[in-house]
Structure 1
């Protein structure tokens, strides 16, 4: 049997797998839930196997669904890379740069960098793609990205960086975000033992993707909520419903009602923010690299 399907069906598969919900996936893709259900049904019919089953937290991918989604990610990245190459044929040479970053970089570092580059070099267009570090590396290898902001260090997988050049950017320490009425809100700096017994707000992403949440060296932390985006997580923190970890890069844009504290923890070696690329930097990419270094240094010092 030949699996010959429209790319949209593969995008539907990825969206449902990543969100775990037909409702959330339909909102992401701009379809009605009924239309998305029909797309999944059409894909299952073409594949000849069940790709999803309903679970206690929404729809859950079967083993076949996970395997097809992995292949789909590669296929969609190749299609996107092909589209970029065709678009660049009619664009000024090097005028468009694709930059990737995990969600925490989008809190402040990336928008500040784009604003800096736009002011200094208005002919440079930056396309920003937000996703986890594993996805950034895959997109970089597929040619979909020119530059990628990725995380590395303790508590993260040992990513395969073969063929990828990286340089370390200033990042500052990992912080703990608490509500302004929390007992630690005015502490400034605490010992890791002071975090025992707290309820933690954790990030939620696709299976296997690292997330910010409890302090990394705590044993068996209590997770009171898993939420998909930073604004929701920090809203819960501001309301006193739990605390969470946050990188220094995001400390300057926290909402009202949220404070940060540093943690003394000799068992934590920290993480690094890396700028990754494959091949030689173009003129526009060099300008973006310079802006990232400047903004990362400023944010790390403020954090």
Structure 2
């Protein structure tokens, strides 16, 4: 949706390395926002975005085009933020949008599926690249391309590129990081990834899911106590989910039991946390991440 950073540019570089022509879309999609969310204030930095893209080159290739549609072009029937009042055609992937991120943002994936279907129809890409930071979104779109029998792209050609992180703090790069103060960005926001990393270590040591989540929550609570009133730090959720169904793992299941029952299927460990008014998300894939289409 614009406000490009090195995470976005990692997708561009991957495409440039693997394709003759690379097309980008930049569009702040209103259908992804609820009425109470930050559509009006979402960062829009198109001149800077285009400047950054003009500097990207891999093996002599640069982006061939940037598709920057208007809201009226993408939603010719009009668009309002209240789902109950919307008119026109929308795409919904049933049964996969209420878990994980969908618990907090129930209409979000409907908006994602709709706009990405439109973009696929306009551009007809052979291959597409999405970031792992939004892992549920990327996996849902792979399901959508399969279910709608899309040929551009085919499901196996929707690639997920690993999350780009700040080299000092490991904070996942995000356009919404621009909302954070320097203090929040350096001292509070990295607690989410640290919490996920604690859960990962517990899982790999054989602890059951409930213990993994407890250790992750403890990391956030310690950071919250350390910061005191200086930062409003609030955990939204941390959970472990099946990447196929998005269902939550049983609290008692351990790594050994899961891998034996699921024949090595990975687990998505994800979370969301508020730092002040800014909501951050992150995830770690536990196990054979290449089976989910994650490259690199």
Is the shorter-chain TM-score for this pair beyond 0.5, marking a shared fold? no
By percentage of residues, which structure has more strand? 1
From the CA coordinates, give the structure whose radius of gyration is larger: 1
TM-score in terms of structure 1 length: 0.26
- The higher-RCO structure (CA 8 Å, 6+ apart) is 1
